[in-house]
């Protein structure tokens, strides 16, 4: 398939590479920053552009991988080309594109990306939605050329997935940052925590997370929790966060026991 990538960020970079590696032709890469467009275009042997008036009509699909607020304005400028377009957002409704095209869909990779970290796209869940069954089928077949995990997911479901992903990925990463800062204040290295982080992540690959919960809250170990609170006496916001999370873990454990 001939594909034009709109965007040059993390999602655009990994999708463009996956499409190229699967044998698709990347026609152009667009970015407002010509340097960014050129860098990605070089790697996927495409033409870089920084103006949407320079879009080539010799494409089958526009992949719109830009920030959510830019999806509509970008799609509007692509309207004259009358091509299939799909956005990659987890939080934006399918019909955000309906005012600009009769052929539109969603091509959402449920993964966290950074340009410097390689990702095996075969293991990335791709959530597909189309304006009709034919478009959904086209996008599904395209997705299957780069991933072994392709799902038809409607807009309402995708928004729930996106919310769950924030809890499963973004919030824990923030907590890692807090942990690193606590360690740094006491001249301890974050490397000490990497094995326990990895162990927990590996456990939930094969088990549901609730039964894997450990720590003083699940044991209702008030002595240890009070000691932790004392260590955070100069950080009232962290004390409050610690209390809130601990209380929710205790509540979850009580709920789980009640369901047994």
Model pTM score: 0.88
Query: Who contacts 102 (Cβ-Cβ below 8 Å, separation ≥6)?
Result: 131
Q: How confident is the model at residue 114 (pLDDT cuts 50, 70, 90)?
A: confident
Q: What pLDDT is stored for residue 115 in this prediction?
A: 81
The count of other CB atoms within 10 Å of the CB of residue 51 is 11
125, 102 Cβ separation under 8 angstroms: no
Query: How high is the mean pLDDT of the chain?
Result: 95
- Among 2-11, 108-117, 222-231, name the one with the lowest average pLDDT: 108-117
DSSP single-letter state for residue 205: T
Q: How confident is the model at residue 258 (pLDDT cuts 50, 70, 90)?
A: low
Q: What pLDDT is stored for residue 260 in this prediction?
A: 52
Tens digits of residue pLDDT in 161-193: 999 999 999 999 999 999 999 999 999 999 999
Strand 61-64 and strand 2-6: the pairing is: parallel
The H or E element that residue 74 is part of is helix 68-78
């Amino acid at each position: 398939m001939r594909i034009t990538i709109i965007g040059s960020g993390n999602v655009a970079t990994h999708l463009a590479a996956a499409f190229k590696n699967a044998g698709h032709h990347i026609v152009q890469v667009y970015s407002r920053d010509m340097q960014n467009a050129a860098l990605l275009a070089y790697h996927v042997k495409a033409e870089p552009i920084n103006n949407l008036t320079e879009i080539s009509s010799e494409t089958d699909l526009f992949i719109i991988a830009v920030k959510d607020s830019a999806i509509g304005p970008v799609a509007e400028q692509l309207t004259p080309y009358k091509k299939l377009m799909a956005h990659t957002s987890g939080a934006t409704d399918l019909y955000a594109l309906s005012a600009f095209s009769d052929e539109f869909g969603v091509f959402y990779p449920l993964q966290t990306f950074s340009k410097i970290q390689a990702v095996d796209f075969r293991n990335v869940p791709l959530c597909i939605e189309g304006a009709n069954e034919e478009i959904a089928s086209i996008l599904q077949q395209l997705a299957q050329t780069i991933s072994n995990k392709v799902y038809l997911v409607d807009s309402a479901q995708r928004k729930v997935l996106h919310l769950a992903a924030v809890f499963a990925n973004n919030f824990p990463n923030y907590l890692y940052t807090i942990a690193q800062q606590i360690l740094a204040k006491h001249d301890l290295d974050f490397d000490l925590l990497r094995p326990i982080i990895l162990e927990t992540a590996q456990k939930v690959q094969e088990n549901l997370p609730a039964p894997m919960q450990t720590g003083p809250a699940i044991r209702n170990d008030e002595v240890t929790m009070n000691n932790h609170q004392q260590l955070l006496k100069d950080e009232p916001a962290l004390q409050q966060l610690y209390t809130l999370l601990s209380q929710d873990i205790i509540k979850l454990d009580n709920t789980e026991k009640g369901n047994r």
